Structure 1
Amino acid sequence: MAATLTDDVVGKTVVDAEGKELGIVASVDRNRAAVDPNPSVAEHLLAKLGVEGEDEEDYIVTEDMLDAVGEEVVLRGNI
């Protein structure tokens, strides 16, 4: 089953296939997530509350880039 992006992943840590932390999910819109690569403590808490949104430093992750979604959002190694 393919990994999907839902509002439940907002605030979760995004890691690459080797486990390197890449940021947190700031927002989700359909099948894409905005990932904040350098979240402050405040931004992390706001994302957990669903208040944080996409900004200019965020990058986009789409469902086809995902390996798994669980405690962390894990990207595929061959992106």
Structure 2
Amino acid sequence: MTAPLTDDEVGKTVVDAEGKELGIVAKVNGSRAYVDPNPSLTEQFMASLGWEGDDEEDYIVTEDMLESVGEEIVLRGEI
């Protein structure tokens, strides 16, 4: 099990098990991260400042889907 998700994950890149970039964390709410698959430059800048935001195209990643959390967030291969 990985460490719990925190607001520190906002702005981190999310990748799949093969390392393919899937988006950035736009917002964290409890054990869920809202991942923006197509962040604009403005959204990337806001996320780098730790400012949370979400929109309709974001998808949800839960803690049980995570392989690791570090400089980037890696999803498990068997999701």
TM-score of the pair, normalised by structure 1:
0.94
CA distance in 1, matches of 2:51, 2:3: 24
For these two proteins, the number of residue pairs brought into alignment is 79
Deviations 1:16-61 (A, max 9, x none): 0000000000000000000000001110011122324111000000
1:42 aligned counterpart, secondary structure:
helix
RMSD, aligned CA: 1.0
Which residue of 2 is the match for residue 11 of structure 1? 11
> 1:66: which partner in 2?
66
Mind listing any 5+ residue stretches in structure 1 that lack a counterpart? Answer: none
Identity %: 75
Contact 2:26 2:47 in 1 (8 A): yes
Q: Which runs of 4+ in 1 moved over 4 A?
A: none
